[in-house]
Amino acid sequence: GAGVSQSPSNKVTEKGKDVELRCDPISGHTALYWYRQSLGQGLEFLIYFQGNSAPDKSGLPSDRFSAERTGGSVSTLTIQRTQQEDSAVYLCASSLGVGGIGFGQGTRLTVV
């Protein structure tokens, strides 16, 4: 595709349920990032994938959060046992190198 694609655009889930957020990066981009943006806040780094290297998970807020990237392309961010404080916009971004990153449209997660 032309840009980073995320699905779903919006997700409403009940507290305690698991959710999966999907990111399809720009074709050929080796680096993939997940960020979280709470209402009125800045971008919080969650996790970074680069090719076949071990991901940098240093930003994941708890062990309820996990992410994988299959075949060096599509990535899935999973949140288990969702809590209300998980409500935010989850942004995925990708890049080829050091020339900046391009973002998807985000997934707005609401935990009720």
| Cα distance between residue 21 and residue 76, in whole Å | 6
Check residue 90 for interaction with other proteins (CB under 8 A): no
| Cα distance between residue 110 and residue 112, in whole Å | 6
Looking at residue 4, its amino acid is V
State which of residues 26, 60, 104, 109 lies at the interface with other proteins (CB under 8 A): 104
Can you say how many angstroms the Cα of residue 37 is from the centroid of all Cα atoms in its chain?
11
State which of residues 32, 60, 91, 109 lies at the interface with other proteins (CB under 8 A): 91
In the bound state with other proteins, the residue whose beta carbon lies nearer, of 79 and 89, is: 89
Three-state secondary-structure class, residue 43: coil
Residues 32-71, interacting with other proteins (CB under 8 A): 33, 35, 41-43, 45, 48, 50, 56
Three-state secondary-structure class, residue 21: strand
In the bound state with other proteins, the residue whose beta carbon lies nearer, of 87 and 105, is: 105
Q: Applying CB under 8 A, which residues contact other proteins?
A: 31, 33, 35, 41-43, 45, 48, 50, 56, 91, 93, 98-106
